[in-house]
Each structure stands twice: as C-alpha cells, then as structure tokens.
Amino acid sequence: MTNLLINKYNVAGPRYTSYPTVPYWDDASFTVQKWESGLKRSFKESNESEGISLYLHLPFCESLCTFCGCNKRITTRHEVESPYIKYILKEWQLYVDVLGSKPFIRELHLGGGTPTFFSPKNLESLINGIFSIADKAENHEFSFEGHPNNTTKAHLETLYNLGFRRVSFGVQDYNETVQKAIHRIQPFENVKRVTEQAREVGYTSVSHDIIFGLPFQTEDHVAETIRKTKELMPDRLAFYSYAHVPWIKGNGQRGFKDSDLPSAESKRKQYELGKAELAACGFVEIGMDHFALKTDSLYKATETKALHRNFMGYTASKTQMMIGLGVSSISDSWYGFAQNEKKLEDYYKRLDADEIPVFKGHILLEEDLIIRRHILNLMCHFQTSWTETSNNFKELPDVLLQLQELEDDGLIKIEESSIRVTEAGKPYVRNVCMAFDLLLQRKQPESQLFSMTV
C-alpha cells in the first residue's frame, strides 16, 4: 500500500457480512410472516442437502473492553446464565416449530459477549437442549469464542465432548499500555495456556484474533504481538483493523481519545508489517483480514471454492440458511434477514409472549440477490463474473465505469465478463464491493455509519 492510495481509498464503508447492509434494510415492508415464509422455503431447499448454520449469542461479560463493538451485558452475577439458556432454548423451539421438521446443523458457533462466562455445565445444558430437537449434519463444524483469562480446561473438554473442534481466542495486542487503554488485560501466559490445553484436548483448529490501529499501538507493538503469536502458531488468524465507531457504540468506545489512535500512516505500516510477518511463517491470506495455515480447513475451503461469508464471518463451508439465537442475533434465510431485539429485557418479553423475538429485517428483491452474489464472490474469492445471465444487471456498465479508476491504480483487473482483485488490491476489496453496492450508490448516508475501509 502507498500513502497516495490510502488517502484516496480510505473512506467509510461496510464490511459486507451481508448485502444489503443493515442500514439499508427495508424495514418498512418487512413482516415476520414474510420472514418465516422465506425461512421455510430455504429450509426445504437446503436442510437435507447441506444442513443449516446456527449462531448462539451469549452476551454476558464480566468487564467492558473499550475496543469492542459487540452487543454485550456487563455483569459479575452468574445467576443470569440459567434464565438466558431457558429463553434461548425457547426461541429455538419456536423456530423448529416454524420449520416443521428436525434441522440438520452443519455449523454451530457460540459468540458474544463472552461464551466462557457461562459455566461448562450450563454450556452443556445449552448444547444438549439444542440437539434435543435437532441432528448433527455430516462433516459438521462447531466452534466457540473463548476468553483466554477465563477459559478453563473443563470448558474445552466439555465442548469437545459435545462435538466442538474449533476455538477462537481474542488476543488483540500483547502490549500492556495498549491492553490498559482497551481494558483487556491478559498476559501472554494465559493465551499460551489455553492454546496448549486446546491442542491437548484434541481441537483441530485454534484461532487467534489480532487487531491493528488500537490506541497507543505502534509498529513495534504489532511486531512483538506477532512474534509471540509465532511461538504458539495458531491454525488460523484474524488480523484486522480496529473499527472505531463510537458514534454508534456509545460509551463502549470512549475509553480513550481520538488523538490516542495511530495515524493512517502508522496503521498502514502496522498492516504491512503484520501481513509480511504472517506470510513469512506460513500463513496464507484468506479473504479479507483472515489468514490460515495450509493445513487448516479455512485454507482448504479456498482451494475448493467452498469459502463462505455470513454474519459469523468466514466459514469453511456454505450453508444457505443461518439462524441466530439470542439477544441482537441476526438470521439469514438467503431470501431475507431478521434481527432480534437488542435489549435483553425486550428479548425476554417477546419470548414470554411466545413470539420469535425479531424486531426488524429485510426481504431480498431479485436485484438484491444478484448484487449479493457478486459481493460474496469478491469477499470470498477476490473475483466475480457475469457470464451467466442470472448475474447480469442493468447498472453493470455504470459499476464498471466506477471501477475503472481502481484498475488504473492496479487494484483490480477487468476482463470482458469478469473482474479480479489483484494482490495489491486485496486491502481495498471493500472499496471494490462498494462499487457494486447499488443501494449505497443511490443514497449515500447523511452521517458516518461505517468504519474506514483501510
């Protein structure tokens, strides 16, 4: 990357875990009835052939990390665990009633919040409750996010015995000054302990999350974090830019001043340094911000073109349908999106009324589905094409015109019926997707909704 290109393309833009992006959902025409209709259609098309994905949002954390943009509830009262599990299982039962038959679960992910806030016994009750009315699909992949400070060997063993083989640990940065700024104090020894324990138990994929662009962070800090990461050699890594959106997340990202954040030039150096160091020790860039060893299922998915992206991030296999359970979770039927109530009290109230706790969503039009396929191709494979008539759309010439400047800068290659993101263009893949984003092109947001693209 060069300063010239960064200054040119470092604009606010979506991360494209979905299309349309959440701010552009047509909530006015959305109804739960339409959502359920699309859900049943998708389930009928895909359940037996590929299974479904299930995301469980476990929102509780004992302390607030000031870099975090997730929906969470800060508490040290662990008596909240059992009631939350009861409600999440009730929501699951309501969905299974709508679907009409037992789902085959291909992917299951526990996210948060802090899933390891919950005791091993309660996590076991949760997963057993899920599978009391569902079956495991063949070649299933179950994963969870663990906090290095509170993940115990009992957590790892309990979830392993329930079929989990992948675990992700949030590292962020090992420097003490940075950790204090983001209120996430965790020594290297804790990460080392849980990584080694996971491998002893039998997990086949251990992942670490590393962030650049954090307050007070320097290139030396990133280099030291990656040096320590090399000692542990996780199977995959997320190495991504801190998304500073305090105007959306409120006090959660106000634990430091804007002036404490690295400059754009420093962020560029942090990224390039990190990427080079990761490549030197065998990590291959997979999609946007993700790296994997060639032995990991995420790398193998890129080789077979099976890599997929949804609200859980990058996954090693595609499922047409993903149901999100828990407060604020987002579900995806392919034909529509639906988000649960964001406040815990509202989530409980809706379930007490025997209602699926959705409060907004979007039903995809034919145009949405076409653009969604292009953006998914770009995010997962760094290329897309319109050789098939079903992938053509009337605004395509305008999109290609917008992309011309990126080609002139060597970031993409435009062919007769396809485009390909170059190696130099990979950090700018969000900018490429923005050219395809017809809703964004038609109406730019009045205020900043998204983090910066670079």
Provide the residue type at 200 as one letter: E
DSSP letter for each residue of 212-227: ES-TT--HHHHHHHHH
Answer yes or no: is 330 a known binding residue.
yes
The answer to whether residues 326 and 57 touch, using CB atoms and an 8 Å cutoff, is yes
Answer yes or no: is 430 a known binding residue.
no
DSSP letter for each residue of 23-35: GG--GGG--HHHH
Inter-CA distances, 231 with 191, 225, 226, 237, 382, Å: 11, 10, 9, 14, 30
Answer yes or no: is 282 a known binding residue.
no
347 membership: H or E segment, kind and range? helix 344-352
Answer yes or no: is 209 a known binding residue.
yes
Q: Is 67 helix (H, G, I), strand (E, B) or coil?
A: coil
Query: CA-CA distance, 274 to 270, in Å (whole number)?
Result: 6
* Cβ neighbours of 6 (radius 10 Å): 19
Inter-CA distances, 9 with 145, 202, 264, Å: 32, 43, 12
Answer yes or no: is 380 a known binding residue.
no
Closest by alpha carbon to 323, among 19, 43, 82? 43
CA 353-344-155 angle, 5° bins: 115
Answer yes or no: is 448 a known binding residue.
no
Answer yes or no: is 172 a known binding residue.
yes
* Cβ neighbours of 99 (radius 10 Å): 21
Answer yes or no: is 97 a known binding residue.
no
Provide the residue type at 28 as one letter: A
In this structure, what token pair is assigned to residue 134?
Answer: 């569902």
Answer yes or no: is 26 a known binding residue.
no
The answer to whether residues 351 and 91 touch, using CB atoms and an 8 Å cutoff, is yes
Answer yes or no: is 114 a known binding residue.
yes
Q: Is 173 helix (H, G, I), strand (E, B) or coil?
A: coil
Answer yes or no: is 112 a known binding residue.
yes
Whose tokens are 């034909």? That residue is: 335
292 membership: H or E segment, kind and range? strand 290-292
Whose tokens are 């990190």? That residue is: 274
Q: Is 337 helix (H, G, I), strand (E, B) or coil?
A: strand
- 22 — phi, psi (to 5°)? -55, -45
Answer yes or no: is 274 a known binding residue.
no
Query: CA-CA distance, 167 to 203, in Å (whole number)?
Result: 7
Answer yes or no: is 239 a known binding residue.
no
Inter-CA distances, 105 with 41, 52, 138, 155, Å: 17, 5, 9, 21
In this structure, what token pair is assigned to residue 174?
Answer: 């090992």
Answer yes or no: is 252 a known binding residue.
no
Q: Is 417 helix (H, G, I), strand (E, B) or coil?
A: coil
Answer yes or no: is 243 a known binding residue.
yes
**Residue numbering of the annotated binding site for S-adenosyl-L-methionine:** 55, 67-69, 112-114, 145, 172, 184, 209, 243, 330
Q: Which residues are annotated as a binding site?
A: 55, 61, 65, 67-69, 112-114, 145, 172, 184, 209, 243, 330
Write out the binding residues for [4Fe-4S] cluster. 61, 65, 68
